[in-house]
Amino acid sequence: MPELPEAETIARQLQRDLAGRTLGAVHLARTDIVHGDPTPLGELLPGRKVVRVYRRAKQVVIELAPPMQLIFRLGMTGRLTVVPVEAEIETHTHFRVVVAGTGGELRFRDPRRFGGIWVIREGSDYVGRRLAEVGIEPLEATTRQFRGVLSRRRQIKALLMDQSAVAGLGNIYCDESLHAAGIHPLTQADTLTAERALRLLRSIKSTLRRAIRCKGSTLMDYRDAEGREGSFQRLHRVYQREGMPCKTCKTSIRRITAAGRSTFFCPKCQRHVTRERSRGSSSRSG
């Protein structure tokens, strides 16, 4: 399930493989996965040059010239790979575009179709909705920004999962970060002390950085742009480890539902503190 580290891995690899290249022939097997500009991709893409590829939230953004953005959301099972044009075409490959002069092509495959492609042309206010209207980037967030996000009365797990609050965290990295910080997933965000909030931000950053170094987590479907699996799943401390011993204290990992999702935590490392700092007292203005 591609979250921030997986999207970052793919974006870096595509930056390396595509930047400066010109796009060629397009093959679109399904039109219903494309959103935004209604002009067919077969008319828009050939001849355009890739300026750069980067990540925003969980999305991979291909910036083109003349100005245009191709935004890929990978959903649950989305794959974005660069392969030789003659490589066998897997089922559910919805989109292909030739990368001129390389013998390769970019392919988008997504069996469950929770993902999609957003086409943004110059001057479209759609840009805002896709890229700007997501929350803070956790790797770049300052303590002050993060404290601002936490100032709402919400379950910390639900808040971290909310893309309009913090961009890029999904189920895996939420649970891993909360464990690293010793915070129970049902803790009310606005009750965390400044010290624990800082510890949480540091845990999120270190967890994401280590995951990026491992090229993400592969549980089932995820592959990077080269078609390879990530390896961070070997370092998971709680995710999908229900009943197994905590890697820190040996206590049996528990599973509950929070924010409508399976949520894994260690009941000993992550005690449910309900009252840390008195709420309401000296509420800072927003």
Partner DNA sequence: CGCATTTCCTGGAGGC
Partner DNA sequence: TGCCTCCAGGAAATGC
Residues that bind DNA (CB under 7 A): 1, 3, 57-58, 73, 75-77, 91-92, 111-114, 152-155, 158-159, 161, 163, 170-172, 188, 220, 240, 257-262
In angstroms, give the least distance from the CB of 61 to DNA.
14
DSSP character for 283? P
Cβ nearer to DNA, comparing 98 with 158: 158
Instruction: Given the residues 2, 5, 138, 185, select the one marked as catalytic.
Output: 2
Instruction: Given the residues 113, 152, 261, 268, select the one marked as catalytic.
Output: 261
What six digits make up the tokens of 257? 């539902």
261 is catalytic: yes
Buried b (16+ CB within 10 A) or exposed e, 269-283: bbeeeeebeeeeeee
Instruction: Given the residues 3, 8, 105, 176, select the one marked as catalytic.
Output: 3
112 is catalytic: no
Rounded to an integer, what is the distance from CA 65 to the centroid of its chain? 25
Cβ nearer to DNA, comparing 10 with 98: 10
49 is catalytic: no
Cβ nearer to DNA, comparing 22 with 69: 69
Up-side HSE of residue 105: CA atoms within 13 Å toward CB? Answer: 20
In angstroms, give the least distance from the CB of 43 to DNA.
26
Backbone angles phi, psi at 158, to 5 degrees: -60, -40
Cβ nearer to DNA, comparing 14 with 134: 134
How far is CA 270 from each of CA 82, 169, 182, 264, 273, rounded to the nearest angstrom? 41, 19, 5, 10, 9
Cβ nearer to DNA, comparing 129 with 209: 129
In angstroms, give the least distance from the CB of 98 to DNA.
25
- The helix (run of H) or strand (run of E) holding residue 127 is helix 126-127
2 is catalytic: yes
In angstroms, give the least distance from the CB of 164 to DNA.
7
In angstroms, give the least distance from the CB of 15 to DNA.
21
41 vs 46: CA distance, rounded Å: 8
What's the count of helices (H) and strands (E) in the chain, helices before strands? 7, 11
Residues with catalytic function: 2-3, 58, 261
